[in-house]
A and B are shown apart, each in its own frame.
Chain A
Amino acid sequence: MDLLLRFLEISIGTIFINNFVLSKFLGLCPFIGVSKKLDSVLGMGLAVMFVMTLSSFVTFIIYKYVLEKFALEYLRIVTFILVIAALVQLVEIILKKIMPPLYDALGIYLPLITTNCAVLGVAELNINLGYNLFDSIVHGFMGGVSFLFAMFIMATIREKLEFSDIPKPFKGVPIAFITAGLMALAFFAADKNILSIFVQK
C-alpha cells in the first residue's frame, strides 16, 4: 500500500506539477523540433521513455555503489553522460538485432536522445531528491511519460495550426514558441506554491 501511494505521488507529481518540458524546461529542442507530426512524436516519446527508465536505473546503481563508495560524488555529471551515451548506443545495437520493426520506427530519434538534457536531468534529480531505487525507476518512467504527454499536446495543436489563418511572420516556429509559452503558463496552475503567490488568503 505504501509503495502504491508512493508510485501515485511520484507519477502525478512528475506528469502534471513538475512536467519535464513545461515546468522544468528540459528537453526543449526535441519539443520544438520533432513536434510537427504526431507519428514522430510517438516514436520520440517512446524512445525517451525507454531510455529514461533504463538510465535512471543504471545511473542510480552506479552512483550508489561506485561513486559514493569512493567519495567521488562531484564526478556524477561526467559519469552520467558517459553512462547515458553508452546505454543509448547499446540499446540501438540490441534493438537493431532483436526488434528491427521497433528500430525502424524509432529511427533517428534513438541516437538523438544521447544529447537530450531531459535524460541527464532525470538522473540528476533522482540524486538531488534523495530517491531510492524504486522511486528513481518510477521517476524515470514517468519523466518519459510527461515528455510524451507534453509533446503529444503540442503536436496535436501544431497539426491544427498548419491549416489555420496565421499572420505570415508568425507562421511555423514563432507560433509554436507562443503556444509553448501559453502551455507552460497553464501547467503552472497545477503548482500550489506558485498559485499561492497570486491568490491572497
Chain B
Amino acid sequence: MISIVIGLVLLLLLGFIFGLGLAFAGVFFHVKTDPKFDKILSILPGINCGACGYPGCAGYADALSKKDVEINLCTPGGNDVMERIGSILGKKGIAKLKLVAKVFCLGDDAIALKDYEFNGEEDCTAVSNLFEGEKKCKYGCVSKGNCIRVCPVDAIKRDEYNRVWINADICIGCERCVSICPKNVIHMVPKNGGYFVACSSKDPGKLVKQICKKGCIGCKICEKTAGVDRIKVENNLAIVNYDSDIDLYQAAVKCPADVIVPIINQTNFMKDNKKNKSEKKEN
C-alpha cells in the first residue's frame, strides 16, 4: 500500500516539476511573433488544404508576413480573403477564377456494364491496376472513393448506385481529389462556367452506347446547338471551352446521352431532365 502511495506521489511530483519547468521556459524563452502573422492566420480559412502550395495555413501566413508572395493563392478563401490580406499588407492582387472540381463520369452500377466484380480493398488505385477497372469503359470512375477520403470538406458524395459526384457549393477547389484520382476523371471547371460534359470516354460512339448508357457518343449535336466555339468534339468526346459564355442549356437538353450537366445543382437537373424526357415519351 505504502509503495503505491510513494509511486503516485513521486510521479505527480515529477510531472509537476516538469510542467513548472516548461511553463517557466515558455515565459523565459518566449519568442515574439510578427503581429501580421497572427492577423493573417486568423483571416485564412484554417482548413490546411495545401492548395496554396505551402504546408498548411500557418505556412502560407508565415510566407506572406516575411516574403513577397502573391496574395491570391488561397483558393478556398477566394476574393474575400485576398482583399482582407491585401488591406493588411497594403498590396493588391489579381482575383483568381473560382474553380471547383467535377467528376467527369456518370456511369454508375445501374447504367455501366462491368467486366468483373472487384472484392478487394476499397481503393481506386488497386482496382485500376487490375485490368484498368471493373467497368467495360476503361476511361470511367472506379468509384472506390479515394477522393472522398482526401476531401477536407466532405464535398464528395457517393450515391446508392456507386456514382461519385462533387457538390460545387461545398467544394473549395483545393485540387486534392484531382491529384489522387488514378483514372484522371476529376477536373477543375470554373464555378460560374454553366455546364460541363460528364464523360471521359474516348471510345467510338457505337462502343460507348453498348457499354454505358450515359457516355458521350461524339454525335456533335451539342456543337450544332451551341456553336463550335463553345463546345467541340475531339476524339469522340465533347469538350467545353470556358472562355466563351454562350448558354449551354439547349445543348444540355438536346444531348441524347444526357452527359451535359450543370456544374451547380448537378443532381437536381439530372432528375428533372429524366422526368421531362419520360413525360415526353408518354405524350
Question: Total interface residues on B, using CB and 8 Å?
Answer: 17
| CB atoms of B25 and A93 under 8 A apart | yes
Residues of A88-132 whose CB lies within 8 A of B: 89-90, 93-94, 96-98, 100
| CB atoms of A72 and B22 under 8 A apart | no
| Segment of B13-21, B155-163, B171-179, B186-194 in the binding face | B13-21
| CB atoms of A90 and B7 under 8 A apart | no
| CB atoms of B7 and A72 under 8 A apart | yes
| CB atoms of B11 and A82 under 8 A apart | yes
Across the interface, which residues of A come within 8 angstroms of B31, CB to CB?
96-97, 100
Partner of B29, one of A75, A94, A169: A94
B239 to chain A, nearest CB (A): 28
For residue A168, CB closer than 8 A to chain B, the reply is yes
A142 to chain B, nearest CB (A): 27
Whether A90 contacts B21 in the complex (CB less than 8 A), given A70-B6, A97-B29, comes out as yes
Across the interface, which residues of A come within 8 angstroms of B6, CB to CB?
70, 72
For residue B69, CB closer than 8 A to chain A, the reply is no
Majority DSSP secondary structure for residues of B touching A: helix
| CB atoms of B10 and A70 under 8 A apart | yes
For residue A194, CB closer than 8 A to chain B, the reply is no
| CB atoms of A82 and B18 under 8 A apart | yes
| CB atoms of B29 and A72 under 8 A apart | no
For residue A61, CB closer than 8 A to chain B, the reply is no
Residue of B nearest to A78 (CB): B11
Partner of B10, one of A66, A86, A94, A97: A66
| CB atoms of A75 and B129 under 8 A apart | no
Residues of B57-84 whose CB lies within 8 A of A: none
Question: Total interface residues on A, using CB and 8 Å?
Answer: 21
For residue A40, CB closer than 8 A to chain B, the reply is no
A187 to chain B, nearest CB (A): 32
| CB atoms of B25 and A72 under 8 A apart | no
Majority DSSP secondary structure for residues of A touching B: helix
For residue A79, CB closer than 8 A to chain B, the reply is yes
Across the interface, which residues of B come within 8 angstroms of A168, CB to CB?
129
| CB atoms of B25 and A169 under 8 A apart | no
Partner of A86, one of B11, B22, B30, B129: B22
Instruction: Give the distance in Å from the alpha carbon of A97 to the alpha carbon of B10 in the complex.
Output: 31
For residue A71, CB closer than 8 A to chain B, the reply is yes
For residue B3, CB closer than 8 A to chain A, the reply is yes
Instruction: Give the distance in Å from the alpha carbon of A62 to the alpha carbon of B25 in the complex.
Output: 20
Across the interface, which residues of B come within 8 angstroms of A97, CB to CB?
29-31
A62 to chain B, nearest CB (A): 8
Residue of B nearest to A94 (CB): B29
A70 to chain B, nearest CB (A): 6
For residue B35, CB closer than 8 A to chain A, the reply is no
Chain A 130-144, CB-CB to B under 8 Å as 1, else 0, gives: 000000000000000
B130 to chain A, nearest CB (A): 10
| CB atoms of B21 and A79 under 8 A apart | no
| CB atoms of B7 and A93 under 8 A apart | no
Residue of A nearest to B13 (CB): A66
For residue A83, CB closer than 8 A to chain B, the reply is yes
Whether A79 contacts B18 in the complex (CB less than 8 A), given A90-B25, A96-B29, A96-B31, comes out as no
Instruction: Give the distance in Å from the alpha carbon of A149 to the alpha carbon of B251 in the complex.
Output: 64
Partner of A90, one of B11, B14, B22: B22
Residues of B25-56 whose CB lies within 8 A of A: 25-26, 29-31
Instruction: Give the distance in Å from the alpha carbon of A98 to the alpha carbon of B114 in the complex.
Output: 63
Across the interface, which residues of B come within 8 angstroms of A66, CB to CB?
10, 14
B118 to chain A, nearest CB (A): 15
| CB atoms of A75 and B11 under 8 A apart | yes
17 pairs, A vs B, C-beta closer than 8 Å: A66-B10, A70-B10, A72-B7, A72-B10, A82-B11, A82-B18, A86-B19, A86-B21, A89-B22, A93-B22, A93-B25, A93-B26, A93-B29, A94-B29, A96-B29, A100-B31, A169-B129
5 closest cross-chain pairs (CB), A and B: A97-B29, A86-B18, A93-B25, A93-B29, A72-B7
Known: A71-B3, A75-B7. 17 other contacts (CB 8 A): A66-B10, A66-B14, A72-B3, A72-B6, A75-B11, A82-B11, A82-B15, A82-B18, A83-B14, A86-B18, A86-B19, A86-B22, A89-B22, A90-B22, A93-B22, A97-B29, A98-B29
